[in-house]
Amino acid sequence: MFTSINKLPNPLPESDGPNPKAAQALQEGLGGQFGEMRTMMQYLFQNINFRGDAKPYQDLLRSIATEEMGHVELISNTINVLLEGSTTQADPNDLPLSIALESPNIHHFLVAGQSCRPVDAAGNPWSATYVYDSGNLVLNMLYNLMLEATGRLQKCRLYEMSDDKAYRATVSYLIVRDLAHEKVFAKALETLGVEWNKTLPVPKVDTSKMPEVRELEELNLHNQQWTMTNEQSGLSLIFNGDSPFKDGQLETLDGIPEGGPIPNLPEAPQEFSPGLDNELKSKFQNLMNKKI
């Protein structure tokens, strides 16, 4: 089971303005083959189907699966704030949704009510064929290491596509967290005998050119992993000591990150969203008034 906390894992600054193209690029991180929906589902299935008594590895999978649920929320909300304002009419005679014809994903406006969708940056719907669980511990760890490294590679590429402030904040946070997860799985394989020497991480990036990333790494965020639970976890048996990439000391932290508030999306009448007329609104208001 899971319980819900009404927060995003990282604060989300305001966007510099509507940017449907950057929003669509970010969809790769949400619904792409190496995006957050996939990592969340893959680790959840590997956790559930775990065999044998090497439970700390099972706990490790559960921690990251749970963290990824929050990443799904973070990146979805970032897409939404990038879309916000894109259909505001300068002139009341303008066609309110004509921008949709110029946007890379018309479904943001036509199918959803100006919000994110479970698809990748090319518009392909997420598919469970992406989920890998072989039942073999070493193979699963190897796959997950590759998965996190690929996710981070794609986010480093995304970083270079736009410098919108909200976009960059989330992309940078995920670059750092993917690096931490890359370490979790590299460390897990290290406990079973692999020595990585200087091969990892991939990609190797010069964070002096990525100030938003650098700032987070200065907080050691790339060496930390939360248990994402109030219960005991075997994660710390694996995730401790030297980073397998020799860039700091690993820290297992109990519980969850401090996080930031979830943005509120205003009504969008041009999208008929939420679409309540005055009569329905007054019904809702009566409901609220009964609160006391």
**Contacting a copy of itself within 173-232 (CB under 8 A):** 189, 191-200, 202-205, 228-231
User: Minimum distance between the CB of residue 16 and a copy of itself, rounded to whole angstroms?
Assistant: 13
Q: How many CA atoms lie within 13 A of 208 on its CB side?
A: 0
Closest CB 18 distance from a copy of itself, rounded Å: 14
CA 211 from chain center: how many Å? Answer: 20
Nearer to a copy of itself, 191 or 220 (CB): 191
Please report, for residues 10, 26, 43, 124, 153, the alpha-carbon distance to residue 147 in angstroms, rounded to integers and kept in the order given: 22, 17, 11, 19, 10
Binding residues for a copy of itself restricted to 121-160, rule: CB under 8 A: 121-131, 133-139, 142-143, 145-146, 149-150, 153-154, 156-158, 160
DSSP 8-state symbol, 97: T
C-alpha separations of 115 from 21, 34, 79, 108, 280 in Å: 13, 21, 7, 6, 23
φ and ψ of 51, to 5 deg = -120, 145
**Binders of a copy of itself in range 77-106 (CB under 8 A):** 77, 80, 95-98, 100-102, 104-106
Residue (124 or 249) nearer to a copy of itself, CB: 124
Which span sits near a copy of itself by CB under 8 A: 60-68, 171-179, 216-224, 243-251? 60-68
- H or E element that contains 139: helix 137-159
Nearer CB in complex with a copy of itself: 64/216: 64
| Binding residue for a copy of itself, selected from 36, 178, 212, 271, defined by CB under 8 A | 271
7 is a contact residue toward a copy of itself (CB under 8 A): yes
